[in-house]
Structure 1
Amino acid sequence: MNPANTPVALGADHAGVAMKAAIREMLEAAGHPVADLGTHGTESVDYPDFGAAVASTVAEGRAAFGVLVCGTGIGISIAANRNPAIRCALVHDVTGARLTRQHNDANVIALGARMTGIEVALDAVRTFLSTPFEGGRHGRRIQKISPGWSAPQ
């Protein structure tokens, strides 16, 4: 994992609250400061609220990385990516977590609690946090998906 003092923001809707709790426990045990932005219960809530909260926390520099969980991970990742400073990737396994850091310099990942088992999710988060961005040709591509870039006419 990145140094133990790397702050991580967490967010989940009602479908992801149990997985988020397990991720929080793992992160805190590893020494990461955690901003748990909710939700904290199983009552139905709206995933965009939590995707936006984690995205803002990362974009403003109050956390280096974010982890989001909803039922599939799809909706909450879309919500996070509405923030232009965020590169949120939906991952289902360790390989996806590793590649999204190496190639996409993702700063947030989303997981589907109904799609991915808890042990796989924990391994994916560990991998995500410990994998550096490769740069090089990938840096040029990241510039092309960053705010302000436009395709040649």
Structure 2
Amino acid sequence: MPPPLTDKPIAIASDHRGVALKARLSAWLVANGYGVNDCGTDSAAERVDAMDYALRLVDEIRAGRTDFALGICGSGQMMAITANRFPFMRATLLHTAAASAPARQHGDANMLVLGADTTEPAAAEHILAAFLATPALGDRYAERRERLAKLDVSQPPT
């Protein structure tokens, strides 16, 4: 098994629909040498808003407590849309392990998002493993990341 991609714990959060998958992936992370910072929610019984938990993950990365976050909601869409409102976030909603490589290599994604309703648990483990096993490429891809961080999302493109 390769060494972990980061020494910091992986921040993980879900809405009510992702609780079971979050528990499984948290256990997978621990079994594979990663620390886990569980940012909620803990119950599938009460409906919660995925946006609130995506913002918790954004705060973990902003504060430097983690390098990578894992967000899970029903479709994955709300977690990804919310996180990508922030210029330092590069959230990617993935459905296959093969898509992990370009997301990490080319986009230096720092947040993996999964749909609890659309991703089988075993597939989610493979996607997570591929995501964490793939380093970001430098050169023009690092330049692209810097350009993304400087975009002014408050104004329409000219």
Report if aligned partners of 1:73, 1:113 keep a CA contact under 8 Å in 2.
Answer: yes
- Displacement, 1:4? 7.1
In 2, Cα distance between equivalents of 1:75 and 1:108: 13
Report if aligned partners of 1:14, 1:39 keep a CA contact under 8 Å in 2.
Answer: yes
Report if aligned partners of 1:4, 1:30 keep a CA contact under 8 Å in 2.
Answer: no
DSSP 3-state at the match of 2:109: coil
Report if aligned partners of 1:4, 1:31 keep a CA contact under 8 Å in 2.
Answer: no
Question: Which residue, 29, 49, 57 being the options, matches 2:60?
Answer: 57
Question: Which residue, 80, 85, 88 being the options, matches 2:83?
Answer: 80
Farther off after superposition, 80-89 or 65-74? 80-89
Report if aligned partners of 1:13, 1:69 keep a CA contact under 8 Å in 2.
Answer: yes
In 2, Cα distance between equivalents of 1:77 and 1:27: 21
Report if aligned partners of 2:11, 2:66 keep a CA contact under 8 Å in 1.
Answer: yes
Question: Which residue, 143, 146, 151 being the options, matches 2:146?
Answer: 143
Q: How does 1:3-42 map to 2 (within 5 A)?
A: 3=5, 5-42=7-44
Structure 2 partner of 1:106:
109
DSSP 3-state at the match of 2:98: helix
What are structure 1's unaligned runs of at least 5 residues?
none
Report if aligned partners of 1:143, 1:149 keep a CA contact under 8 Å in 2.
Answer: no
Structure 1 partner of 2:92:
89
- Displacement, 1:118? 0.7
Q: Which runs of 4+ in 1 moved over 3 A?
A: 3-6
Question: Which residue, 36, 45, 48 being the options, matches 1:45?
Answer: 48
TM-score, with structure 1 as normaliser? 0.91
In 2, Cα distance between equivalents of 1:149 and 1:136: 23
Identity of aligned residues (%): 35
- Map Cα deviations across residues 61-90 of structure 1 (whole Å, 9 max, x no partner): 101100000011001111112222111011
- Map Cα deviations across residues 85-115 of structure 1 (whole Å, 9 max, x no partner): 1110111111122211001001001000111
Report if aligned partners of 1:52, 1:83 keep a CA contact under 8 Å in 2.
Answer: no
- Displacement, 1:3? 4.8
Structure 1 partner of 2:137:
134
Q: How many residues in Structure 1 have an aligned counterpart in Structure 2?
A: 153
TM-score, with structure 2 as normaliser? 0.89
Report if aligned partners of 2:5, 2:135 keep a CA contact under 8 Å in 1.
Answer: no
- Equivalent residue letter for 1:94: A
